[in-house]
Chains A and B, each alone.
Chain A
Amino acid sequence: MPVEIKNLTHVYMKDTIFQHKALNDVSLTIEDGEFIGLIGHTGSGKSTLIQHLNALLKPSSGNIIIDGVDITAKGVSLKKIRQTVGLVFQYPEHQLFEETVYKDVAFGPQNLGLSREEIDLRVKESLMLVGLDYDALKDVSPFELSGGQKRRVAIAGVLAMKPKVLVLDEPTAGLDPKGRDEILGEIRRLHELQKLTVVLVSHSMEDIANLVDRIIVMSKGKVVLTDTPRNVFMQAEVLKNIGLDVPQVTHLVNELNKKGIKIKDCISVDEAFNELVKYLRSN
């Protein structure tokens, strides 16, 4: 589902001493079925931006158009928007509120008015997708889980809604590496199979490099760069100046180039491996 953001400005606590312009005239278009990586320094406005996508925040000015419908217009159904655009919050604690893991994941589907069997199926399926054991955890309180387990439950709750646009705010923060790879792998699979439009906010340059079609870079409430991962990560200096970085292998290749070892730019371990083998075998 295509998403269009037009001249979006958001001012928190307008007309108080805490007034803060978190988004400053942001315009961008996300194509149907695109996988977007949203990166930016802390406080750059990423969470503020994506909370507009399911109408959790209202713009101070500007419009958000999802599948042709202006969701900032009066009278639009919030329920329908939230069914279409699934948002996984930065802090899973903000998303968990039921007594058991089952109830928590079932909450969204229940609101959709689905049958008991369908809800059951979706809960099982979603918990499996995030690598949690249904039988062992369904009756456990989400508040008695470890940090990473809570996050998985929060992601499962959103997946259970089967949204058309999936927005994830640092979904892998606090996950162990295996969990991170598994969950990102699932998201990619859903994206490919169901043509799901995905917006992934992340501070991991490695994950972004491996996953997304296009990167949007934010700094101080503005979009400062948008391009393919390869083109974005070629600009190491620009990224460093705004608090970001490049994947470790990209950094390695840059350092090698400085030493006169000429190999092509790389953004993944696979690429770097191939390039280095070629280089080392070249004489």
Chain B
Amino acid sequence: MTSIISAQNVVFEYISHDDNKVTALDNVSQEIKKGEFVAVLGHNGSGKSTLAKHFNALLLPSKGTVYIKGMDTRNEENTWNIRQTAGMVFQNPDNQIVATVVEEDVAFGPENLGVEPHEIRKRVDEALKTVGMQDYAKDAPHYLSGGQKQRISIAGVLAMKPECMILDEPTAMLDPSGRKEVMETIKRLNKEEGITIILITHFMDEAVQADRVVVMQRGNAIMQGTPKQVFAEIDKLKSVGLDVPQVTELCARLHKEGIDIPLDVLTVEEMVVELCRLK
């Protein structure tokens, strides 16, 4: 596998309105492989969104380099191709909604890419169906509920068929079944269509479904590995403001109690197997 995203020694400083510098990324390096599903965790303000915005050239590094499919984000001529390659679902869907009718909103991306009208129609219908919003195609997005808006913004990016999707807390406002559906969609896009996924989330049960988990703290990537490797380190995760799934927590407590159960149990199914084995 080759890297679709390569970030090397990225430093990023925001200049605030009163000219203060805020270092949001402090020497971050990341290689994201084509077809990989990476989850990014980290406390509020740790730099997740800032990093994500470097992956589609919305922000350019103050120091260091970011390459998307070999294209340097600092070179303006690449911006168009980069945005076509890496589509982004923003943290607040309100910032993403541009049209006054849902289907036009979803069509906006592919239209900008110059996709043929009948192909756009097909993609819009498919994308809306994927997120379960086909009944709302003619509605006004601004009047939808929080979770419904979030689904529309995901559909908008889906319709662009990017090679890589960056999703910044896409399920933050969804109900449990909506969250599951979005996670299923993401995994399907990843497994069946080979789309590279970068998922920023505060939900540990979502992160366990990734191939690799990256943990950010104060502008640095401080841990990474498979979900099993990362979530087995409960104390370290808690010390940086994070958590583990309830079943993982339960296993850690049982383990401390002297019960012979592994520390890297991540799902209900795994835990049922372990408990059946114990008796």
Contacting residues, chain A, for B94 (C-beta < 8 A): 91, 93
Q: Are B44 and A251 in contact (CB under 8 A)?
A: no
Question: Contacts A144-B17, A269-B246 hold; do A41 and B241 have CB atoms under 8 A apart?
Answer: no
Contact of B49 among A93, A140, A146 (CB under 8 A): A146
B63 to chain A, nearest CB (A): 21
Q: Are B202 and A176 in contact (CB under 8 A)?
A: yes
Contact with A along B115-158 (1 / 0, CB 8 A): 00000000000000000000000011001111110010000000
Contact with B along A272-283 (1 / 0, CB 8 A): 110011001000
CA distance A178 to B251 in the complex (A): 20
Question: Is A141 interfacial (CB-CB < 8 Å)?
Answer: yes
Question: Is B194 interfacial (CB-CB < 8 Å)?
Answer: no
* CB contact list, A228-283 vs B, under 8 A: 240, 243-245, 247-249, 251-252, 255-256, 259, 261, 269, 272-273, 276-277, 280
Contacting residues, chain A, for B247 (C-beta < 8 A): 248-249, 252
Q: Are A244 and B202 in contact (CB under 8 A)?
A: no
Residue of A with least CB distance to B90: A147
Contact with A along B167-208 (1 / 0, CB 8 A): 001001111111100000000000000000000001011000
CA distance A21 to B80 in the complex (A): 43
CA distance A18 to B242 in the complex (A): 42
CA distance A59 to B227 in the complex (A): 48
Question: Is B276 interfacial (CB-CB < 8 Å)?
Answer: yes
Question: Is B249 interfacial (CB-CB < 8 Å)?
Answer: yes
Q: Are A42 and B268 in contact (CB under 8 A)?
A: no
Question: Is B99 interfacial (CB-CB < 8 Å)?
Answer: no
Contacting residues, chain A, for B249 (C-beta < 8 A): 269
Q: Are A91 and B92 in contact (CB under 8 A)?
A: yes
Q: Are B175 and A244 in contact (CB under 8 A)?
A: yes
Residue of A with least CB distance to B93: A91
CA distance A174 to B44 in the complex (A): 8
Residue of A with least CB distance to B15: A144
Question: Is B271 interfacial (CB-CB < 8 Å)?
Answer: yes
* CB contact list, A173-187 vs B, under 8 A: 173-181
CA distance A93 to B92 in the complex (A): 9
Question: Contacts A149-B44, A249-B247 hold; do A203 and B174 have CB atoms under 8 A apart?
Answer: yes
Q: Are A147 and B91 in contact (CB under 8 A)?
A: yes
Q: Are A147 and B176 in contact (CB under 8 A)?
A: no
Residue of B with least CB distance to A143: B17
CA distance A149 to B22 in the complex (A): 14
Contacting residues, chain B, for A41 (C-beta < 8 A): 147, 175, 177-178
CA distance A6 to B14 in the complex (A): 50
Contacting residues, chain A, for B147 (C-beta < 8 A): 41-43, 203
Q: Are B44 and A47 in contact (CB under 8 A)?
A: no
Question: Is B76 interfacial (CB-CB < 8 Å)?
Answer: no
Contact of A176 among B16, B242, B246, B250 (CB under 8 A): B242
Q: Are A255 and B202 in contact (CB under 8 A)?
A: no
Q: Are A42 and B145 in contact (CB under 8 A)?
A: yes
Q: Are A146 and B175 in contact (CB under 8 A)?
A: no
Residue of B with least CB distance to A206: B246
Q: Are B177 and A141 in contact (CB under 8 A)?
A: no
Contacting residues, chain B, for A43 (C-beta < 8 A): 144-145, 147-148
Question: Is B275 interfacial (CB-CB < 8 Å)?
Answer: yes
Question: Contacts A174-B202, A269-B253, A277-B257 hold; do A144 and B91 have CB atoms under 8 A apart?
Answer: no
Contacting residues, chain A, for B43 (C-beta < 8 A): 148, 176, 178-179
Q: Are A203 and B268 in contact (CB under 8 A)?
A: no
Q: Are B176 and A245 in contact (CB under 8 A)?
A: yes
Contacting residues, chain B, for A280 (C-beta < 8 A): 254, 259, 275, 278-279
Question: Is B243 interfacial (CB-CB < 8 Å)?
Answer: yes
Question: Contacts A47-B145, A147-B91, A244-B177 hold; do A178 and B139 have CB atoms under 8 A apart?
Answer: no
Question: Contacts A146-B49, A203-B175 hold; do A249 and B250 have CB atoms under 8 A apart?
Answer: yes
Contact with A along B244-271 (1 / 0, CB 8 A): 0111011001100101000000001101
Q: Are B143 and A13 in contact (CB under 8 A)?
A: yes
CA distance A276 to B139 in the complex (A): 49
Q: Are A177 and B92 in contact (CB under 8 A)?
A: no
Q: Are B92 and A139 in contact (CB under 8 A)?
A: no
Q: Are B44 and A179 in contact (CB under 8 A)?
A: yes
Question: Is B45 interfacial (CB-CB < 8 Å)?
Answer: yes
Question: Is A108 interfacial (CB-CB < 8 Å)?
Answer: no
The 7 closest A-B pairs by CB, nearest first: A42-B147, A148-B44, A177-B243, A245-B176, A178-B241, A243-B177, A248-B246
Which A residues have a C-beta under 8 Å from some C-beta of B? 12-13, 18, 20, 40-43, 47, 90-91, 93, 139-141, 144-149, 152, 170, 173-181, 203, 205-206, 240, 243-245, 247-249, 251-252, 255-256, 259, 261, 269, 272-273, 276-277, 280
**Contacts beyond the supplied A147-B49, A205-B176: 8 A-B pairs with Cβ under 8 Å:** A41-B178, A91-B92, A141-B16, A178-B243, A245-B177, A255-B269, A261-B279, A280-B279
